Amino acid sequence: MHQSTKAVEERLDRFVRDKLEPAIYRDHVALSITAWQAPREPVAFEFATKQQYETVDLGWRFGRAWSTIWLKVSGSIPESWAANQEASMAAEIVIDFGYNTSRSGFQAEALAYDLAGKPIKAIAPKNSWLPWSYANKKVEFFLEVAANPDVAGEYTFEPTTLGDWDTASEQPLYELKKLHIARRDIEVWQLAQDIFTLRGLIVSLPQDSTRRHVLTRAIEDMLDAIDPSDVSGSATAARAKLKAALAAPANASSHRVIATGHAHIDSAWLWPIRETVRKCARTFSNVLSLMDEHEDFIFSASSAQHYKWIKDSYPSVFEGIKKRVASGQWKPVGGMWVECDGNMPGSEAMVRQFVYGQKFFQENFAMQAREAWLPDSFGYSGSLPQIVTQSGISSFLSQKMSWNQINRMPHHTFWWEGIDGTRVFSHFPSADTYISELSGEELAHAERNFSEKGRSSISLIPFGWGDGGGGPTREMIAAAHRTGDLEGSPKVSMGTADDFFAQARSEYANAPVWRGEMYLELHRGVLTSQHRTKQGNRRNEGLLREAELWASYATLKTGAEYPSAKLEEIWQSLLLMQFHDILPGTAIAWVYKEVENRHAEITRELLEIIDSSLSVLANDPSTGSSPQALTANAAPAARNGVAALGVGVRGKSAKATSAVEQGEFVILENEELRVKIDRSGRILSLLSLANNRDAIAIGSAANELHLHNDNPTRWDAWDIDEHYRNTKQVLENVDEFKVNQEADGSAVVETKRLLTAASGKTSTIVQTIRLAPGSNALDIGLEIDWHESEKLLKLAFPIDIHAEEVAAETQFGFVKRPTHENTSWDFARFESCQHKYLFLNEKDWGVAFANDSTYGFDVQRTTEANGATVTSVRFSLLRSTKFPDPEADQGKHSMKFKIRPAATIQDAVNLGYELNYPAREVQGNRVIEPLVSSSAAQVIIETVKLAEDGSGDLIVRLYESTGGRCDSRIAFAGAAEKIWLTDFLEMPTSADHSAGGSIDLQFRPFQVITVRVAGLQIA
């Protein structure tokens, strides 16, 4: 047979573009439009609709970046339509704001309201219609139009001023191109859906497959059946030609897909937080409207924060959601407050993401999520399996690992084993997307790509436009219906993530295992970008721990009121700011202005709670004794004679540190350490006097600043590319050098550097090296005024240690990472995450580092001429990328480090807490014994708080921190009526309970245990 499949495909594409799409709507009737522009920030419906509106016409250019325009639209349905209410024609309002309709969102969006202020449905580039009833002859509604600028454009990553109201131009961005009522020809629309599915299927089948040729011939017959001058009149005949092709059943062994409706809405990113509130309202209104038409449509949405916004600001939408949740059509998923970053949130913060997420779901929807839902976060810490499992969750979903640059993750359906050994059943959608439109190409990819073929036959596909694209569309649902049982296609059924996990697990309970963290081989710069936000996060995580500790103690001991509502509000704000485009530093300037202010506000509020709680605790009004200076110690080890978690009198300080200038060098020395520093402020020797061993490799210099070019190929704020290592400038010259002896006996070397960039702007870097009296750790401080551009600043420590791997703190433990590049997996990890500490060691000897606000680091090894291995640790301090925030990291920063030679892993753990929980001075007349203590030093008391249910019970969360097994007696400052163990949601994990002043526990490596204590009478 002479035939060309290619020619048929080309003919089809032209028909769709030139004939079919223009035929979907007809009988357009103009509407009259008036407009009012809100002064700056969004306003409520009641306020907006009372304003003076002015007439505008089609062609009107409007919308400076971030502004809000309200349109009042009115008109009427022609009499002839009403008299002719055919089921084959639907009346609809059709709108075009002059955006790029080939892209799903990231541009102007609108929400339509009826005259009573109830949201009807949203408008987005690929979802630009409103339903209208023929019975409703008078057309009248409001549109709240958000002139959101397209910040990323075509992802060329050019610096842009669009990321803040104040820097964006006043120029209008949009044009009112279309706003009329028309009739949608349903048969023509159905034909378009038939073609969409078959077109995608054809190109996904092998060129020589019989099915491909059968489909091509059916398409050809369909095209022949069309009258080009009367598409509407010939659509039924055309569809008849496709009927057999669409009716052919799927192969017996075809892959199965559970399609769940979804809209990935970033809680802030290329728009400010306030816009996400409206994005959620718009998308959720669309979903409710779609559910009215399709009973089999299931929608999954994560993030309690998003629901809370809707509950607070759009009550009618929230009521609609609640009804659909109750009927099972709408599934809250994930159980988290937001889809946070997967690496940087601290131990308790990661727990609270689930505690407050599940709590909101329980209180508002009478359900809890059973699956963790983190499709887009940039890598996943090895602590998550234990954290999610203890939060009532049995499955884990992600998709991002398909973005790996170098190595392909070997599984799509697997068990993920965490650092403590907990396993959670996990899935990566093999379609490699969480914003599918259920095209033939995507479905075919899901099948071809699926790694577990032969053992498992099912994958999940989340479908729907995200980020203001409006979520799932009726076209996607049409595609799902057509692919339920279609030859050549996977079998698609709409369902929930629960449905998927239940089937996948029963089919393949013996799935393969991935152990440890899931390191994303991309976006390595997110551990460093926007340092002030990361510092605010670390500081407030610490202050929350302190505030809960001291406030719960003050309540139990003195009856002071526990600020539970305030603490929950602060937690929720902090958790929002851990969202996967906020904490990583990948959002626009507007977001960071707001987040830095919010962090500062939270700090003030938490310090008030801490100060008032400590004041109540440390002052006994019944004794006449006068107050003295006391020290509160929130760290898990005793400090200066004050017990862990206690308040006491500071012990006598040690002999002052000496500072001796010896020619080109300065020697700082106390009873523990001798430190040799050159005139550039570099540490040439850090000698532990007890065992006469130097931490610094001979001939190397530590505390050295390295400046690298940092211009990623793509994704500026996200990525540190491997090629950054090809350029390195060592900052040797100093402009000032001082040696100070301070009042507390510390000796300090201070250097100041001025660094003039090519732009002519000067950065200032002040470094201090401080050795406190009697201290076995050296303190390093940096005060930086940063004005570099596309540069990465690192702080280097070449350590004289032959280490195969380093231990980097993560939530409730550490992850070990190789110091070499033996395999492509090792090579890919050239920039990694640490929390408060990093530890490297040989047998019996190690060096610990602690930091107060940096997460990114790299480690490399070199061999000296004498054969000795040098393990170089470098902390990433600052970047200066240009997209999406052209001013990222400009301005003032401060950061602190500690380095301790002759350390064990336990010392490293404690050093991290010591730096992040500095001793706090309080005036009082009462020494306070710890509320709770652990007999085993390796068991860390991470959290002390009162129960979420308001019962007044004490909650204590502890974990084994060193990767070993141990017993520990947990003792309380009084006797309790009842002590038992719970999960993170504070629900009992066994029926056993005891009474008294202590409980004996056994810990596995990195195990987290939560103890609940009722009726505690403080002695």
Please, what is the minimum distance in Å from the beta carbon of residue 268 to Zn ion?
A: 10
Taking the least distance from each CB to Zn ion, the nearer of 375 and 648 is: 375
Taking the least distance from each CB to Zn ion, the nearer of 62 and 378 is: 378
Please, what is the minimum distance in Å from the beta carbon of residue 715 to Zn ion?
A: 13
Please, what is the minimum distance in Å from the beta carbon of residue 264 to Zn ion?
A: 6
Taking the least distance from each CB to Zn ion, the nearer of 341 and 800 is: 341
What is the 3-class SS of 626-676, one letter each residue?
CCEEEEECCCCCCECCECCCCEECCCCCCCCCEEEEECCEEEEECCCEEEE
Near Zn ion in 349-388, by CB under 5 A: 376
Please, what is the minimum distance in Å from the beta carbon of residue 157 to Zn ion?
A: 17
Taking the least distance from each CB to Zn ion, the nearer of 266 and 960 is: 266
8 A C-beta contact, residue 73 and residue 143 = yes
SS3 107: coil
Give the closest residue to 891 by CA, choosing from 588, 526, 682, 596.
Answer: 596
8 A C-beta contact, residue 426 and residue 432 = no
Q: Is 266 near Zn ion (CB under 5 A)?
A: yes
Pairwise CA distance, residues 420 & 598, whole Å: 35
User: DSSP for 419-441?
Assistant: TTS-EEEEE--TTS-SSB---HH
* Listed ranges 96-104, 264-272, 423-431, 610-618: which one lies at the site for Zn ion (CB under 5 A): 264-272
Near Zn ion in 836-875, by CB under 5 A: none
Pairwise CA distance, residues 254 & 233, whole Å: 37
When computed from its CA atoms, the radius of gyration of the chain, rounded to whole angstroms, is 31
Question: Between β-strands 805-810 and 837-842, what pairing exists: parallel, antiparallel or unpaired?
Answer: antiparallel
Taking the least distance from each CB to Zn ion, the nearer of 435 and 1008 is: 435
Neighbours of 765 (CB within 10 A): 23
Please, what is the minimum distance in Å from the beta carbon of residue 273 to Zn ion?
A: 14
Near Zn ion in 94-113, by CB under 5 A: none
Please, what is the minimum distance in Å from the beta carbon of residue 265 to Zn ion?
A: 8
* Listed ranges 261-269, 480-488, 755-763, 856-864: which one lies at the site for Zn ion (CB under 5 A): 261-269
Near Zn ion in 754-773, by CB under 5 A: none
Please, what is the minimum distance in Å from the beta carbon of residue 222 to Zn ion?
A: 39
Near Zn ion in 601-620, by CB under 5 A: none
Secondary-structure percent of the chain, ordered helix, strand, coil, rounded to 5: 25, 30, 40
Near Zn ion in 778-837, by CB under 5 A: none
Taking the least distance from each CB to Zn ion, the nearer of 194 and 266 is: 266
Pairwise CA distance, residues 739 & 657, whole Å: 12
Please, what is the minimum distance in Å from the beta carbon of residue 420 to Zn ion?
A: 28
Near Zn ion in 106-145, by CB under 5 A: none
Please, what is the minimum distance in Å from the beta carbon of residue 889 to Zn ion?
A: 22
Is the bond leading into 884 cis (omega within 30 degrees of zero)? yes
Residue nearest to Zn ion (CB): 376
Taking the least distance from each CB to Zn ion, the nearer of 376 and 889 is: 376
* Listed ranges 181-189, 259-267, 408-416, 690-698: which one lies at the site for Zn ion (CB under 5 A): 259-267
Pairwise CA distance, residues 526 & 517, whole Å: 17
Taking the least distance from each CB to Zn ion, the nearer of 266 and 716 is: 266
* Listed ranges 262-270, 531-539, 604-612, 883-891: which one lies at the site for Zn ion (CB under 5 A): 262-270
Taking the least distance from each CB to Zn ion, the nearer of 345 and 798 is: 345
Taking the least distance from each CB to Zn ion, the nearer of 447 and 885 is: 885
Taking the least distance from each CB to Zn ion, the nearer of 164 and 266 is: 266
Q: Is 992 exposed, middle or buried (0-12, 13-18, 19+ CB in 10 A)?
A: exposed
**Residues in CB range of 527: below 8 A, 6 or more apart:** 343, 344, 584, 831, 832, 833, 855, 856, 857, 876
Q: Which string of x and - marks every residue 697-726 that binds Zn ion (by CB under 5 A)?
A: ------------------------------
Give the tokens for residue 144: 């709240």
Please, what is the minimum distance in Å from the beta carbon of residue 275 to Zn ion?
A: 14
Count of residues of this chain found to bind Zn ion when the rule CB under 5 A is applied = 2
8 A C-beta contact, residue 181 and residue 132 = yes
Per the listing, tokens 């061999």 go with 863
Helices (H) and strands (E) in the chain, counts: 20, 52
Taking the least distance from each CB to Zn ion, the nearer of 376 and 704 is: 376
Please, what is the minimum distance in Å from the beta carbon of residue 466 to Zn ion?
A: 8
**DSSP state letter for 746:** -
Q: Which string of x and - marks every residue 893-932 that binds Zn ion (by CB under 5 A)?
A: ----------------------------------------
* Listed ranges 201-209, 265-273, 794-802, 970-978: which one lies at the site for Zn ion (CB under 5 A): 265-273
Pairwise CA distance, residues 473 & 914, whole Å: 53
Pairwise CA distance, residues 858 & 853, whole Å: 16
Please, what is the minimum distance in Å from the beta carbon of residue 463 to Zn ion?
A: 16
Please, what is the minimum distance in Å from the beta carbon of residue 377 to Zn ion?
A: 8
Taking the least distance from each CB to Zn ion, the nearer of 305 and 329 is: 305
Give the tokens for residue 821: 């590049």
User: Any idea what the Cα angle at residue 841 is, between residues 835 and 847, rounded to 5°?
Assistant: 60
Taking the least distance from each CB to Zn ion, the nearer of 434 and 592 is: 434
Taking the least distance from each CB to Zn ion, the nearer of 266 and 831 is: 266
Pairwise CA distance, residues 371 & 388, whole Å: 8
Please, what is the minimum distance in Å from the beta carbon of residue 269 to Zn ion?
A: 7
Residue-wise burial string across 854-876, b where 16 or more C-beta atoms lie within 10 A, e elsewhere: bbbbbbbbeeeeeeebbbbbbbb
* Strand ranges, E, within 790-833: 791-799, 805-810, 813-818, 832-833
**Residues in CB range of 316: below 8 A, 6 or more apart:** 118, 119
Pairwise CA distance, residues 695 & 903, whole Å: 10
Taking the least distance from each CB to Zn ion, the nearer of 274 and 802 is: 274
Near Zn ion in 69-88, by CB under 5 A: none
* Listed ranges 266-274, 430-438, 529-537, 877-885: which one lies at the site for Zn ion (CB under 5 A): 266-274
Taking the least distance from each CB to Zn ion, the nearer of 399 and 880 is: 399
Please, what is the minimum distance in Å from the beta carbon of residue 581 to Zn ion?
A: 6
Give the tokens for residue 886: 């052209």
Please, what is the minimum distance in Å from the beta carbon of residue 376 to Zn ion?
A: 3
8 A C-beta contact, residue 444 and residue 386 = no
Pairwise CA distance, residues 262 & 462, whole Å: 5
Give the tokens for residue 980: 């038992």
Please, what is the minimum distance in Å from the beta carbon of residue 713 to Zn ion?
A: 21
Please, what is the minimum distance in Å from the beta carbon of residue 144 to Zn ion?
A: 24
Taking the least distance from each CB to Zn ion, the nearer of 164 and 376 is: 376
- Binding residues (CB under 5 A) for Zn ion: these are 266, 376
